[in-house]
Amino acid sequence: MMWEQSRVGSNPTGGTTLEKSKSFWGRKIFNFMTKTIKAEWDKIARQWHKEAGEKGLWHQKHDIDPVILKLLGGVKGKKILEIGAGNGYFSRLLAKKGAKVTATDIAPKLISFAQKEEKNNPLSITYLVRNAADIRGVKKKSFDAVIANMCLMDIADAERAVKEASRILKKNGQFIFSVTHPVFADFRQYWTITKQKNKTYFARIVPTYLSSSSEKFTLLISGIKKFKATQYHRSIDTYFTYLKKAGFLVSDFREIATKKPVTKANFKIDGDTSLRRSKYSKVQEKKMKELAGREIPVFLVVGSIKIK
Ligand SMILES: C[S@@+](CC[C@H](N)C(=O)[O-])C[C@H]1O[C@@H](n2cnc3c(N)ncnc32)[C@H](O)[C@@H]1O
């Protein structure tokens, strides 16, 4: 089970700049993009459900979810809403720990798999098809926590999604989200092997960073050759601005390196040409990759409190 990403025909100087599209199309651009994204995730729903199962993808089970659970603290009796919940495995995990859970996602097919799970093994979870930027029917100030697990970078109007999280949270409620690390693990960047003053480095190239942009990505999921999904790059500054505008104060900021052991580069799953070429044939390359694995955070988990 893996969750690897690679660029498809990527322009490392950054796909479509969101600011430009927004100033040209206004808010209509988000409706259009959201429709496309909904269709993309519906198309992959069956396979995603199979991959995520009841524990999530590898990185979630091992790298991300333990951090989110730690930040959440005790969940017994807490009212928790998850946005972009996918097949709902994380919501089920929370419900099994005693939380009262509502799980939402834009893709009706993904939610239908979750609803089947509820029918077979009831956990009193309410599953709803909702755009995270418009969680209609959910009352304001009605939840203790909102979770966005690896979905804000898939959501077109993430700013509104953060606002909606704030709307439905009670005062002092928690909003916790995880994303691929915008500085170190993003579609605008790639690994390379470089020589400087006779020393070889395994390095990350970051051609652009500050502008928000969208790009089609290939998510490599076992059994599916090419699943193209839209993703958004946003700087950490951008995420902080969304949080501040929505009345949140950041309480936790965790940069997470992966626990995944180094394997030889694999043509099938590794979209990065420089890594393909290297194949870690040299011991030094392997050591560099192990060091990068330990030292370069690939995920970000942010915890925040609604103060206003
Ligand atoms: C990478 S998946 C993560 C799913 C789940 N959180 C997990 O960890 O398995 C991203 C999810 O975001 C959902 N999504 C994308 N745009 C959305 C939107 N505007 N509103 C709600 N969900 C959205 C997709 O349907 C997909 O299920």
Q: Per-residue pLDDT tens for 114-139? A: 999 999 999 999 999 999 999 999 99
Return the structure tokens found at 164: 């909606």
Q: Please give the average per-residue pLDDT across 228-232, as a whole number.
A: 87
Report the run of H or E that residue 26 belongs to, with start and end: none
Is 159 in contact with 166 (CB distance < 8 Å)?
Answer: no
Q: Among the atoms of ligand 1, which is closest to the Cα of residue 42?
A: 25
Q: Decide which of 25 and 39 is more confident.
A: 39
Model's pTM, two decimal places?
0.90
- The pLDDT score that the predictor gives to residue 265 is 56
Q: pLDDT category, 287, cuts 50, 70, 90?
A: confident
* Angle at 153 (CA atoms; ends 150, 157), nearest 5 degrees: 125
Is the pLDDT at 5 greater than 50? The verdict is no
Q: Roughly how many angstroms between the first and final C-alpha of the chain, as a whole number?
A: 41
Q: What is residue 133's predicted lDDT score, i.e. its pLDDT?
A: 97
Average pLDDT over residues 33-47: 93
238 SS3 class: helix
Predicted confidence band at 10 (pLDDT cuts at 50, 70, 90)?
A: very low
d(CA 102, CA 110): 15
Tokens representing 267 are 């043509």
Question: What's the mean pLDDT when you consider all of the chain?
Answer: 86
The CATH architecture of the domain made up of 4-188+211-269+297-306 is: 3-Layer(aba) Sandwich (3.40)
Tokens at 75, concatenated? 């969940």
Residue 7 has pLDDT above 80, yes or no: no
Q: Is pLDDT above 80 for 254?
A: yes
Task: Please choose from 47, 106, 180 the residue to mutate so as to test ligand 1's pocket, defined by most ligand atoms within 8 A of CB.
Answer: 106
Which among 211, 238, 239, 240 is positioned nearest to 18, based on CA atoms?
A: 211
Sign of CA dihedral 124, 129, 133, 136: negative
Of ligand 1's listed atoms, the one at least distance from the Cα of 40 is 25
Position 84 confidence tier, pLDDT thresholds 50, 70, 90: very high
Task: Answer with the residue of higher pLDDT: 78 or 187.
Answer: 78
| Ligand 1 pocket residue status of 151, Cβ below 6 Å | yes
Judge if the beta carbon of residue 52 lies within 6 A of ligand 1: yes
Structure confidence at residue 289 as a pLDDT band (50, 70, 90): confident
Ligand 1 neighbourhood includes 85 CB (under 6 angstroms): yes
Position 218 scores a pLDDT of 67
Give the pLDDT mean for 162-169.
Answer: 98
pLDDT of residue 223: 58
Q: Is the pLDDT of residue 3 over 60?
A: no
Does any ligand 1 atom lie closer than 6 A to the CB of residue 117? no
**Are the beta carbons of 306 and 248 closer than 8 angstroms?**
yes
